[in-house]
Amino acid sequence: MKEDFINDSSVIAYLHELLEMQYEMLQLLKKLSSPKTATWLDNNDIKALLKISDSTLYRLKKNRQLKVRLIGGKQFYLLSELEEVIKTV
């Protein structure tokens, strides 16, 4: 009787499906629980990423299209904010 239960292919398939769902749920939990770190870009990063000149970067800052933060006397920008600016253009 016990052997019939173990060899039943539908039960084995069901258990396999449950294990796959558990694995997917664990992967989602890992993604959700991992701390999101901000990515900071400096002037050179921005210019290389957007392929713009110093004067264009200056104009974007002057017109307040890019929000600048001074950290240790150096200018930095949040990548997430840059992505939002690009989406609105």
Q: Do 8 and 44 fall into the same domain?
A: no
Q: Do 48 and 81 fall into the same domain?
A: yes
Q: Are 61 and 67 in contact (CB under 8 A)?
A: no
The pTM assigned to this predicted structure is 0.56
By percentage, how much of the chain surpasses pLDDT 70? 87
Condensed to tens digits (0 to 9), the pLDDT of residues 45-83 reads 999 999 999 999 999 999 998 999 998 999 999 998 888
Distance CA 45, CA 59 (A): 16
Q: What is the DSSP string of 11-58?
A: HHHHHHHHHHHHHHHHHHHHHHHSPPPPPEEEHHHHHHHHT--HHHHH
Q: Do 45 and 84 fall into the same domain?
A: yes
Q: Domain range spanning residue 81?
A: 40-88
Distance CA 89, CA 67 (A): 15
Mean pLDDT of 36-40: 81
Q: Do 48 and 27 fall into the same domain?
A: no
Q: Do 15 and 44 fall into the same domain?
A: no
Point out the least confidently predicted range of 3-7, 24-28, 29-33.
3-7
Mean pLDDT of 23-47: 83
Q: Do 21 and 49 fall into the same domain?
A: no
